[in-house]
Structure 1
Amino acid sequence: MMENKAVIGETDMLQVMQQDALRFAGKALDQYDVTDSTEIARLIKKEFDRLYGQGWQCIVGRDFGCFVTHQCGCFIYFTIGTLSILLFRGAVASEEETGHQIAMEPVQP
């Protein structure tokens, strides 16, 4: 169970949604190799779309930066080992209202 090794960096999700994000990430890592970022992201995104409605976005990798606008209560960034996962539900609003910037340093394996 890889989700037990997760470290949450930032989130504004309810605890139950955080647990679902970690559970789905663990499920993805059980099914796919850690190098298969696209399939891991696809599984997490599809599970959140199914459970919480459409509009979820998922980014998985070892070295990325981003700036996203997200719905309040729909953002989590966490790591499992050397893999970083960003999951959020998009929103239409000004950057001042809901923008969220995450800059990550390269993760050493």
Structure 2
Amino acid sequence: MATEKKDKLEPQIKSVDMTDDMQQEAVEVAIEAMDKYHIEKDIAQYIKKEFDSRKGATWHCVVGRNFGSFVTHETKHFIYFYLGHCAILLFKTQ
């Protein structure tokens, strides 16, 4: 079942300032989060904590279907993408 869900969740990158490897990792962590959780704040918390742990603090994550944003981020540490109908904004600040 998890494999079927992953197949359905094809990422659509909308805006990015991040290495290809880090982009892939962001998508993989987001898929893990969506497999484990169904509440948007829990998905965001999982992604944020994983990236803090893997890449160092301080990461921020917003997950949802309808939101606006305007953020300042560290160079090469920003991604905004969709998995299915869910938008994910992930970025790092100092």
Instruction: Choose which of 71, 78, 84 in structure 2 pairs with 1:81.
Output: 84
Structure 1 runs (4+) deviating above 6 angstroms are none
Look up the match of 2:68: 65
Look up the match of 1:38: 41
Aligned residues: 89
CA contact (8 A) 1:3 1:25 kept: no
Look up the match of 2:25: 20
- Residue 19 of structure 2 aligns with an amino acid whose one-letter code is L
Gaps of 5+ in 1: 92-109
Look up the match of 1:100: none
Larger strand percent: 1
CA separation of 1:3 and 1:88: change in aligned 2, threshold 3 A: farther
By how many angstroms is 1:32 displaced?
1.1
CA separation of 1:23 and 1:49: change in aligned 2, threshold 3 A: same
% identity of equivalent residues:
45
What is the TM-score with the length of structure 2 in the denominator? 0.89
Larger Rg: 1
**Alignment RMSD, CA only?**
1.4
d(CA) in 2 for partners of 1:4 and 1:77? 15
Residue 9 of structure 1 pairs with residue 28 of structure 2: no
